[in-house]
A and B are shown apart, each in its own frame.
Chain A
Amino acid sequence: MTGRARVWVLHGGVILLLFLLQFVLPDYHHTNVARIMVLATYAIGYNLLIGYTGLLSLGHAMFFATGLYGAGLPIYYFGLHPVAGFLLGALLALVLAFVVGLIVLRTSGVAFMIVTMMFAQAFFLATLYFNGVTRGDEGLVLAAEARRFGFLGLDLDLAEPATRYNMALSLFTGALLICLALVRSPLGRVMIAIRENEERTRMLGYNARDYKLLALSLSGLLSGAAGAAYVLLFAYMGSSFAAIQYSILPLLWVLLGGIGTVIGPLIGTALMFYLIDKTSEVMQSYLIVVGAVLVALVLFFPKGLAGTLRQRYARWLP
């Protein structure tokens, strides 16, 4: 098989597998996998920036939460149509990422990490400050009626597990295909070139800042789309999704799954989701696994699962 065929078989196979899983999974795992697919979309968005452009952000929770609130609040308060809400949330995250990018891309390296973290912290504090609207940590729950809607002649109810699962799958598939197409396109090549050697890329006549801004905006868009889908599918929005932990989790997922691989974010998200889930059943301080896995990955396994696989066996993995 050629490299191109292998790529399509692998990624098509994963999506087919996820589609078939819904018919065999018990209820509990059915919901979990839907959640994992939405969070993996967030991880794919994060990976566009860290994995393919080489920018380590510690503030992506602000984009996820912008999608979450941008979709959720208008639906909650003004009864906006869910599809319009989803588009609005994703669009707002894109705009925020673009504006934030104009500022933070003046820095690089460690300063970039700290500045993105501080912007996200300010965003988190703002969700607490506007407690009257967002209800802060307590959060808001979307009513069942708000999640029932007609679209293209279909009657959809997002509280329905099958609908929810397939919506999550569509979102994830879209993100996966966008990522796959992007990293194999000329634009993706320039992004990777910036990751490998920014100076040289600039010498070749590419405006590195513009490409980084584009990568950050796309990354924000995907993260925001994941956030918007999250509130629609799981009906809850709260400040905790804007907290620093939600900036660190995508980093963890991507590092575990394989930084700079298309399939890695899904693997990392799924493993970490179940690891945290199982640990929280046995102990109160389950977040210790987040710390332990982060340290272990950085020390012993910096390429992650799919990255190591690519290095050892499958050079063609995108």
Chain B
Amino acid sequence: MEGTVTAFVLALTALGLSLVFGVMRIVNVAHGEFFMLGAVLAWGFTALIPELPFWGFMLALLAAPVCVAAIAVIADALVLRRLNYEPEATIVATIGLLYILQQSVLTLYGPNAQPVVAPISFRVVLPWFGYSGYKLVVIGAAALLLIGVWYAITRTKFGLVMRATQFDRETAQAFGVPVKLVYAAVFALGAALAAIAGVLVVPLQQAHYLMGLDPLLLSFIVVIIGGLDSLKGTVVAAFIIGLSDGIISMFFSPTLAKIIATLAVALVLVWRPQGLFGARAR
């Protein structure tokens, strides 16, 4: 159960990173900070109306991703577009962005972790043990979103335009696809997905300005294992990693598990850059 929640949240976060990498060909090192911003903004919005935790949370679920997407659009226009999405320069710039976002949150929000109350508090009681109902909500919401993103990519005009840009940027542009707009939209969508994951997770773990690092590294691992180009691979890998995380940590110390996982993934990237499930590159 714990693993399932992790897997769904991870799938959302990693999907955002994977989309941005797939379409824009850039590695967004600040992705974890979008996750963190989602969580911190969720605290901010629920604190606006403390007497109505349910509506406060609903407000956060809608408004936090919008705010984060807006920040992403600004970052795209001010920084990434000016670099012409040159891969190495963009990584350095997003490292800078990581520090700017993280340290701004430290200034405005402070170094302390803040709890957010879950919008619902019922427990599902089974004969042998009970579940927190909120975890089921997280799983349901994340599943809906994953299906929604899949639908948007494969069945809508926007998805078509996006895939065309991914396949061949110049040809797409020649056919009148507004590539700049698509890039901005994809970057915003990727950030919003991370932010939603952050909002969903914050009642289970507190909001903190340094909470972005772990999701970032895990998302990297997931995207690499799943294959750098494959959204399906990303989701499958998120489930494998999310579910195995709990199991591995039962046998090893969490730190040792992380060391092994990090090295293993680095080796995957060296010897099978298309990922464990990806097809060979063209």
Contacts and interface: CB of A to CB of B under 8 A. Distances in A.
Contacts of A293: 96
A315 interface: no
Interface string A86-104: 0000000000000000011
B89 A288 contact: no
Contact of B83 (A106, A110, A298): A298
A294 B262 contact: no
Given A113-B91, A121-B262, A294-B93, A107 B255 contact: no
Prevailing SS type, chain B contact patch = helix
B217 A115 contact: no
Contact residues on A (Cβ < 8 Å of other chain), bracket: 35 or more
Given A111-B269, A113-B91, A299-B82, A290 B255 contact: no
Interface stretch (A21-29, A36-44, A124-132, A182-190): A124-132
A225 to B, nearest CB: 25
Contacts of A118: 220, 262-263, 265-266, 269
Given A114-B27, A288-B103, A302-B89, A119 B98 contact: no
Given A288-B99, A291-B99, A299-B93, A121 B270 contact: no
Contact of B88 (A56, A107, A248, A291): A56
Contact of B217 (A106, A111, A119, A121): A121
B156 interface: no
A152 interface: no
B88 A122 contact: no
B104 A288 contact: yes
A287 B99 contact: yes
A251 interface: yes
Interface string B233-259: 000000000000000000001011011
B100 A288 contact: yes
Interface string A156-184: 00000000000000000000000000000
A56 B92 CA distance: 10
A125 B255 contact: yes
B107 interface: yes
A285 B106 contact: yes
A205 interface: no
B129 interface: no
A106 B96 contact: no
A288 B267 CA distance: 33
A214 to B, nearest CB: 20
A290 B87 contact: no
A143 interface: no
A89 B269 CA distance: 29
A113 B89 CA distance: 12
A83 B188 CA distance: 54
A78 B255 CA distance: 27
Contacts of A20: none
B96 A107 contact: no
Nearest to A121: B262
B107 A288 contact: yes
B80 to A, nearest CB: 10
B95 A119 contact: no
B276 interface: no
A154 interface: no
Given A110-B87, A285-B103, A290-B99, A126 B259 contact: yes
A110 B262 contact: no
A106 B253 CA distance: 31
Interface in A242-299: 248, 251, 255, 283-288, 290-295, 298-299
B88 A103 contact: no
B225 to A, nearest CB: 12
A109 interface: yes
B210 to A, nearest CB: 11
A291 B96 contact: yes
A153 B88 CA distance: 50
B92 A125 contact: no
Given A118-B262, A126-B259, A298 B87 contact: no
A115 B269 contact: yes
Interface string A46-67: 0000000000101000000000
A284 B209 CA distance: 13
Ordered nearest first, which 3 A-B pairs have the shortest CB separation?
A291-B99, A294-B96, A288-B103
Given A109-B87, A122-B259, 18 more contacts: A56-B92, A103-B270, A106-B271, A113-B27, A114-B27, A118-B220, A118-B266, A121-B262, A122-B266, A287-B102, A287-B103, A291-B100, A291-B102, A292-B99, A292-B100, A294-B93, A294-B95, A298-B83
